[in-house]
Amino acid sequence: NAGVTQTPKFRILKIGQSMTLQCAQDMNHNYMYWYRQDPGMGLKLIYYSVGAGITDKGEVPNGYNVSRSTTEDFPLRLELAAPSQTSVYFCASSPRGKSTDTQYFGPGTRLTVL
């Protein structure tokens, strides 16, 4: 089991460029999440998905888009990158999204927008 994997590990973007952060899990989890973590701060929820074909906004969705065509994959799309999107992005998954579920985190993608 690889768990939750994310690619790339690091990326530098120029203002206005677009990119997709990849996330995959091999645990057959229904729920998947995208968080961002700014320096010295906690995790802020960007988007989440309760299953293939179903996504919903979190706390800070502006500037991002997601899709979930399969149970395994949950890519995060940045359109028109801005310096405010410089952050570390974590993808996570949980089995059923219940209050007692553990969230499993990927290793993160460190993004810098210049």
Partner 1 sequence: QKEVEQNSGPLSVPEGAIASLNCTYSDRGSQSFFWYRQYSGKSPELIMSIYSNGDKEDGRFTAQLNKASQYVSLLIRDSQPSDSATYLCAVWTNAGKSTFGDGTTLTVKP
* Positions that interact with partner 1 (CB under 8 A): 33, 35, 40-45, 48, 58-59, 90, 97, 99-100, 102-103, 105-108
**Shortest spacing between CB 90 and partner 1, in angstroms:** 6
> Closest distance between partner 1 and the C-beta of residue 101, in Å?
9
Smaller CB distance to partner 1: residue 17 or 97?
97
* 5 exposure class (CB count in 10 Å sphere: 0-12, 13-18, 19+): middle
Which residues fall within 8 angstroms of residue 39, CB to CB, at 6 or more apart? none
User: What three-state secondary structure class fits 85?
Assistant: helix
Question: What is the nearest approach in angstroms of partner 1 to the Cβ of residue 39?
Answer: 11
27: which residues sit within 8 A by CB, 6+ positions away? 1, 3, 4, 93, 95, 104
Smaller CB separation from partner 1, 17 or 86:
86
Give the nearer residue to partner 1 in terms of CB position, either 14 or 39.
Answer: 39
